[in-house]
Amino acid sequence: MSNIPLVAVDNVVKRFGAVAAVERTSFEISSGEFLAIMGSSGCGKTTTLRMLAGLERPTEGEIRIDGQRMNDLPSWQRETPLVWQSLALFPFLTVIENVEFGLRMRRVPSAERRKRALGWLDRMGLSEFANRNIAKLSGGQRQRVALARSLVTEPKILLLDEPLSALDAHLKVRMQAVLTELQKELGITFVYVTHSQSEAFSMADRVIIMSRGRIEQIGRPVDIYRTPRNRFVAEFLGSSNIFEGTVQRIGDVTVSVHTPGAHFEAPVNPQKPISAGQRISFVVPEDRIQISPASPQSGPNAMAGRVIGEEFVGAAIRVYVETDERQEIKVLVPDLTFRENQVRSGGRVGLSWKTESAYVLPEG
């Protein structure tokens, strides 16, 4: 297998006038990988996708696909179809005519393109709608037509720009399963832009988190979730509690951290050189904190507070606790555990976690 990545984004910058939409960005994508790019509006994720598609030209740097420089190659000469958020289906064409469109542009003979289009409609469960007008399809059906139109040309790379954002919640879940199964079955490289953490983390092999045109972190979903690179990533994910304190003591495997209201222990992070007296930040995921109506036991990683809110999130309850030091802590508790513990809004609770559940931030 070649060591050359399928896609290489090398020191790419994109400016619109004086505004830098993408700042000095580099990453690689392997053949057959599912890569998600996520971030808030204006972070540069869609601009990055458009440069891969050939719809924008990098101001600086280089984009290579299969080792070939792509900077000056127009979109219609690339094998990088893009599934738009709006789907961009042609309302004046039937379903099968929409699917055939890319093949028609490549001058594929009529019989061959009809055969391939029908094959993809069958794969997508849309055969019976082949001659139907696009406007008469449901949102989920139109989404599958857009996918069939892009995949019928058998590209090496499929680009997707928030393709599920307009769907209802139950359709999103179904389409996530369709996309994941298709990608694994076909071995096509997917580059998927989204603002949804649940979409990115449930489908992608790796995730890029962007902010202000820069990559904040790139890695496997589990690694980003458990070991965020900096405070921005931790706050963006919203699933970790962030604590700040002063280093009291540094051991071989743990560091002792003091705050005005509590004493904490956290594993030493080899990426974060520290010294006694230094201020550091560490995170504890919301699903690693234990909560009980009783006061916490004495010792490190224990604190008390008052329940100020509850949020039902499917099979779990997110409990919001305000500590005696006025810090808000999120705790994700299985629904059954929540009811067995008889946690009540306004009631006093104890919080605690194991030392290994904490993670000292390398940056921020």
Tens of pLDDT, residue by residue over 124-149, are: 888 999 999 888 888 888 888 988 88
pLDDT tens column, 335-360: 888 877 778 888 899 999 999 999 99
What type of residue is 183? Answer: Q
Is pTM beyond 0.75? Reply is: yes
Note the pLDDT of residue 1: 41
Q: Residue for token digits 């961009």? A: 88
The pair of three-digit structure tokens given for residue 323, joined into one six-digit string? 């500590």
pLDDT value of position 154: 85
Q: Which residue has the tokens 């029908």?
A: 118
Residue 96 Cα distances to 68, 116, 352, angstroms:
33, 10, 59
The residue-averaged pLDDT of 195-209 equals 94
Domains annotated on the chain, with CATH: 7-226 (3.40.50.300), 231-360 (2.40.50.100)
- For 224, the 3-state DSSP assignment is helix
Contact predicate 289/279, CB 8 Å: no
CB-neighbour burial class of residue 149 (10 A; exposed 0-12, middle 13-18, buried 19+): buried
